Chains A and B, each alone.
Chain A
Amino acid sequence: ELKVEQNPLFLSMQEGKNYTIYCNYSTTSDRLYWYRQDPGKSLESLFVLLSNGAVKQEGRLMASLDTKARLSTLHITAAVHDLSATYFCAVDNSNSGYALNFGKGTSLLVTP
Chain B
Amino acid sequence: DTAVSQTPKYLVTQMGNDKSIKCEQNLGHDTMYWYKQDSKKFLKIMFSYNNKELIINETVPNRFSPKSPDKAHLNLHINSLELGDSAVYFCASSQTLAGSGYTFGSGTRLTVV
A binding-site residues for B, Cβ under 8 Å: 30-31, 33, 37, 41-43, 45, 48, 50, 86, 88, 90, 96-102, 104-105, 107
Contact = CB atoms under 8 A, between A and B. Distances in A.
B56 A50 contact: no
B104 A99 contact: no
Given A30-B99, A42-B90, A97-B56, 16 more contacts: A41-B106, A42-B105, A42-B106, A42-B107, A43-B104, A50-B99, A86-B41, A97-B48, A98-B48, A98-B96, A98-B97, A100-B92, A100-B102, A101-B45, A104-B41, A105-B41
23 contacts: A30-B99, A31-B99, A33-B101, A33-B102, A41-B107, A42-B90, A42-B106, A43-B43, A43-B90, A45-B101, A48-B99, A48-B101, A96-B56, A97-B55, A98-B94, A98-B96, A100-B33, A100-B45, A100-B92, A100-B102, A101-B45, A104-B42, A107-B41
Q: Is the interface of B mostly helix, strand, loop or mixed?
A: strand
Contacts of A96: 45, 56
Interface in B59-113: 90, 92, 94, 96-97, 99-107
Interface of B: 31, 33, 35, 40-45, 48, 55-56, 90, 92, 94, 96-97, 99-107
